[in-house]
Each structure stands twice: as C-alpha cells, then as structure tokens.
C-alpha cells in the first residue's frame, strides 16, 4: 500500500539540490513512484519531483488530466528538455512554495525525453499546461523553484510574507 510522504517546503535546502541521475530501476524505485503518486494526488497537485519529498534522484511524476477522468499518472526518469519553442505565461503555484502563485513565462511547447518507470525510452511533445508542468518539475530536479523565474521584488515580498507566516505559526504552537 502506498503511503503519503512529507513534501518539503521553501526554504528547505533539499529543494536547492541538483538531483542525481537514476542508475537503477528496481523495486525500491517502483515503491517510491507509488508513494509519490499517492502524495501528489493527496496534496492535491499536478506534478511532483523527487527532491520535493527529500529524494535527490532525477524522477518526476505528473497528471494534468481533470480529476473527473480518473488517474493518468505519467512518470519520467532522468528527464531532459531537448527542445522548446514559443512562449506561454501561466499562473503557477507549487506544493513546495506555500500560499503563493505568480505568472511565469515558459516555453509554450517542449520536447522532453527520458525513461518510463520500466526503463523504456520516452519522448513527449507537450504543449500548454503539460509543457508548463514538465518544465516546472524538471526545474525542481535542477534545484530551481518557480519563484526563481519571477522578479526579485516579488520574490523578496514573498520571502518576507513567508517569514511572518512561519514566525506566527511557531509562536502559536503549544510548548
């Protein structure tokens, strides 16, 4: 049975670590994929990179299909953007960046290659929301957050607000 894992949140340092390539697709990796899926759906989110749950491996999962269509989880191991074109501005949020969203400019169309959960080569041609999602999750594997794509002023304001939120939550915790 899959379990729900802790999702690390900014400013935790694991989110800034560049993930290592997956060397072996084994039973442990399959279990990790299942747990990541359960965690993503529970959150709820449309994508999750391994370092968001504290594992610095190049592994991500995604599902941009409407929830009413059931689960259609995709898995990419050692993903790489091989081509991108056009521009799209999308309001992004992140399971690791609490209580914040911002417009981010990304490629409108991307071609991504990697491997599926069985080690078979995969090449995806993605556009729109899926393209945004894949770029967002691949950024995570490089230690980059979507807030790194916004202006330094917006980022500073978010950090200031987050600091206040964290101080408030710490002061309201029982001792």
Residue 93 CA to residue 44 CA, distance in Å, equals: 12
Any catalytic annotation for residue 34?
no
- Phi then psi for residue 118, to 5 deg, are -105, 5
H helices within 79-151, ranges in order?
128-141
Given 24, 27, 80, 137, the catalytic residue: 137
Contacts with 16 (C-beta within 8 Å, 6 or more apart), sequence order: 143
The two three-digit tokens of residue 40, written as one number? 């993503």
Bridging pattern class, strands 121-127 and 59-62: unpaired
Residues designated catalytic: 137
């Amino acid at each position: 049975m899959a379990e729900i894992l802790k999702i690390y949140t900014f400013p935790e340092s694991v989110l800034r670590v560049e993930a290592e390539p997956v060397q072996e697709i084994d039973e442990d990796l399959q279990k990790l994929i299942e747990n990541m899926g359960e965690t993503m759906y529970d959150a709820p989110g449309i994508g999750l990179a391994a370092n968001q749950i504290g594992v610095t491996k190049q592994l991500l999962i995604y599902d941009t299909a409407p929830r009413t269509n059931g689960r259609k989880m995709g898995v990419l191991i050692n993903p790489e953007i091989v081509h991108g074109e056009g521009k799209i501005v999308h309001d992004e949020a992140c399971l690791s960046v609490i209580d914040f969203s911002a417009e981010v400019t990304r490629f409108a169309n991307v071609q991504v290659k990697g491997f599926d959960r069985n080690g078979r080569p995969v090449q995806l041609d993605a556009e729109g929301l899926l393209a945004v999602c894949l770029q967002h999750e691949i950024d995570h594997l490089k230690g980059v957050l979507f807030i790194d794509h916004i202006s330094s002023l917006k980022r500073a304001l978010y950090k200031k607000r987050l600091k206040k939120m964290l101080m408030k939550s710490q002061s309201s915790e029982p001792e």
